[in-house]
Amino acid sequence: MGGIADRYFVAPMTLAWISGILFLVDFVDIFKNIKKLTIAIAFVFALVPVVHWFEAGWFLTSGPTWTSEVDRATKFCRDHPDSEVELLVSPWGYSETYCWQVVKK
């Protein structure tokens, strides 16, 4: 459960919590004696995907803005029109393109 894309994590987790709360409300008489234990178990159960999510947080860092990369590439390509330039799209990834494409933009 969970993953890098938060839209696949938040919706199922929210639905699971809503259904869990509704279940507890419907069966509150049964769980009256073990109410605190049930809440503690539910809390620990909820921490598992949260811990997993935050361990993946390093991967979610953003790279430079696209506009700043195009501006940097444009400045470089004015001086080196026959070259290729790297545009950073994330902290660990880039895209190569020809300078004539950047200047032509």
Question: How many of the other CB atoms lie within 10 Å of CB of 97?
Answer: 15
Are 13 and 48 members of one domain? Answer: yes
Using alpha carbons, list the distances in angstroms from residue 21 to 14, 45, 80.
Answer: 11, 14, 63
- Which residue's entry shows tokens 């995907």? 49
* DSSP H helical ranges for the chain: 7-26, 35-55, 66-79, 99-104
Per the structure, the complete domain to which residue 24 belongs is given by 7-60
Are 51 and 70 members of one domain? Answer: no
pLDDT tens, 5-64? 566 667 777 788 888 878 777 776 666 677 777 777 877 887 777 676 665 555 556 667
37/87: higher pLDDT: 87
Read off the pTM.
0.42
Specify if 83 maps to a domain. yes
